[in-house]
Amino acid sequence: MRIAVGMSGGVDSSVTALLLKEQGHEVIGVTLRFHTVEACEIEGTHHICCSPEDVRDAAKVARKLGIPHITVDWERIFKERVVDYFVEEYLKGRTPNPCAVCNREVKTGFLARYLREVAEIDFLATGHYARVEEVEGLGRVIRRGVDRRRDQSYFLALVRREDLDLLLFPLGGMTKEEVRRIAERAGLEVARKRDSQEVCFLMGRSPGEFIEERVGRREGVIRHVSGKVLGRHRGIFHFTIGQRRGLGVSWEKPLYVIDIDPETNTVLVGEEEFLYSDTLLVRDINFHVPLEKWSNVSAQIRYRSDPVPVERIERTPDGYRVKFSREVRGITPGQVVAFYMGDVLLGGGVIEASLDGG
């Protein structure tokens, strides 16, 4: 088969290409360049990927493996579809998940369709720790990676159902250490390269710092749920639901960000008890499996959060109302909610609001 591999210059995508070549496939390395600045390190942690440095690393691996390698400059597409979205969402008082959006709009789903058209590939393979498998009664679905500590299926919840037919995730049944050992045995220079750990385009800055550089200060008030004004802020984009540190205000009890109102430019704070809710609204759900086949559903509202059993999902004029079996902490508009049945990813959507139960 003719398989393109999205090569980021890291160990995961490099081993993906290696494994597929060893299996006898025609492999083409494809690297997307999103930035024209070099990768930087702050306190030993990489803060940027898809940079010129990563392009060079990917090219070196391709030469080592003896496979063709091409670089596609998608800096403009990445800015328009991911970076601009990120900024706009924060200005609306929301906390977006740019990696999930990027997987749908740029480097996974969209890239697979693009390469099918221009390079006549059979599949696009990436280094995600997830699995794409045929499941009886459900069709081709994404399943969690075997290594739960590395599982990245959550970030694939927004990928379109039709794109699953074009995707392969060869590392889904492996652990990270297994992947590094394979790279070392093959003599790949990236075998011990550090992983990118933050949003790639922030380059060590906080979201608030990144956005303030672009739009300037937009001062407003910080108000307690009782109505009392406790202080002022430099911009709502410096805050996210559940945040405790860096509020710059004092109270007799610890305070957390409870809500963000872009219309009044107000950050609402309160005690931890106000962070809990058992219901959320999602405007649209990207279905990998039709809703009528869902059962014993759990939902994950952040990448590092535990899945919570779902009591019911109701279609309303405003979207889908999702009721949990218990209250969960910090439902955040803009974040992705991913739905699972066991380890099968059923689909997902962007959280619109936290609601009162009922």
Residue 151's pLDDT is 97
Q: What distance in Å separates the CA atoms of residue 11 and residue 312, rounded to the nearest whole number?
A: 41
Residue 358's pLDDT is 55
How far is C-alpha 286 from the chain's CA centre? 15
Query: Is the separation of the CB atoms in 341 and 325 below 8 Å?
Result: no
Average pLDDT of span 300-318 = 96
- β-sheet bridge partners, residue 31: 71
| Residue at 70: amino acid letter | I
Task: Report pLDDT digits (tens) over 278-289.
Answer: 999 999 999 999
Residue 43 pLDDT greater than 80, yes or no: no
Q: What distance in Å separates the CA atoms of residue 126 and residue 58, rounded to the nearest whole number?
A: 13
Residue 42 pLDDT greater than 90, yes or no: no
Outline where the chain has alpha helix (H). Answer: 11-22, 52-65, 75-78, 84-91, 98-105, 109-119, 176-185, 207-215
- DSSP letter for 80, please: I
pLDDT-derived band at 312, boundaries 50, 70, 90? very high
Name the maximum alpha-carbon separation found in the chain: 68
Residue 69 or residue 198, greater confidence: 69
- Asked if 99 is an active-site residue, the reply is no
Q: What distance in Å separates the CA atoms of residue 344 and residue 287, rounded to the nearest whole number?
A: 12
How far is C-alpha 69 from the chain's CA centre? 26
Task: Report pLDDT digits (tens) over 159-178.
Answer: 999 999 999 999 999 999 99
Task: Report pLDDT digits (tens) over 179-189.
Answer: 999 999 999 99
How far is C-alpha 131 from the chain's CA centre? 16
Q: What distance in Å separates the CA atoms of residue 344 and residue 338, rounded to the nearest whole number?
A: 10
Residue 198 pLDDT greater than 80, yes or no: no
Q: What distance in Å separates the CA atoms of residue 36 and residue 34, rounded to the nearest whole number?
A: 7
Strand 276-282 vs strand 45-46: parallel, antiparallel, or unpaired?
Answer: unpaired
Average pLDDT of span 30-50 = 60
Residue 21 pLDDT greater than 60, yes or no: yes
Arithmetic mean of pLDDT over the chain: 93
Contacts of 293 (CB under 8 A, 6+ apart): 137, 138
Least confident of 197-201, 298-302, 311-315: 197-201
Least confident of 22-36, 40-54, 220-234: 40-54
Residue 307 pLDDT greater than 60, yes or no: yes
Residue 126's pLDDT is 98
Q: What distance in Å separates the CA atoms of residue 32 and residue 6, rounded to the nearest whole number?
A: 8
Q: What distance in Å separates the CA atoms of residue 292 and residue 341, rounded to the nearest whole number?
A: 13
Residue 44's pLDDT is 44
Residue 76's pLDDT is 95
C-alpha angle 140/145/149, rounded to 5°?
Answer: 155
Q: What distance in Å separates the CA atoms of residue 260 and residue 241, rounded to the nearest whole number?
A: 8
Average pLDDT of span 190-206 = 85
Residue 51's pLDDT is 66
Contacts of 84 (CB under 8 A, 6+ apart): none
Can you tell me which residue has the tokens 């902490």? 329
The secondary structure of 316-356 as a DSSP string is: ETTEEEEEEEEEEE---TTSEEEEEETTEEEEEEEEEEEE-
Residue 31's pLDDT is 96
Average pLDDT of span 230-248 = 96
Percent of the chain's residues with pLDDT above 90: 89
Q: Give me the domains of the chain, ranges plus CATH numbers.
A: 2-192 (3.40.50.620), 217-268 (2.30.30), 275-355 (2.40.30.10)
Residue 136's pLDDT is 95
- Asked if 50 is an active-site residue, the reply is no
Least confident of 47-51, 129-133, 316-320: 47-51
Residue 254's pLDDT is 95
Distances in whole angstroms, Cα of residue 320 to Cα of each of 166, 313, 354: 28, 6, 12
Residue 49's pLDDT is 55
Task: Report pLDDT digits (tens) over 320-335.
Answer: 999 999 999 999 999 9
Residue 110 pLDDT greater than 60, yes or no: yes
Can you tell me which residue has the tokens 């004029």? 317
Residue 37's pLDDT is 58
**Which residue out of 49, 50, 99, 200 is catalytically annotated?**
200
Residue 50 pLDDT greater than 90, yes or no: no
**Which residue out of 49, 50, 99, 102 is catalytically annotated?**
102
Residue 195's pLDDT is 81
Average pLDDT of span 123-131 = 98
Percent of the chain's residues with pLDDT above 70: 95
Contacts of 128 (CB under 8 A, 6+ apart): 12, 108, 145, 152, 153, 155, 156, 169, 171, 172
Query: Is the separation of the CB atoms in 351 and 334 below 8 Å?
Result: yes
Residue 163's pLDDT is 97
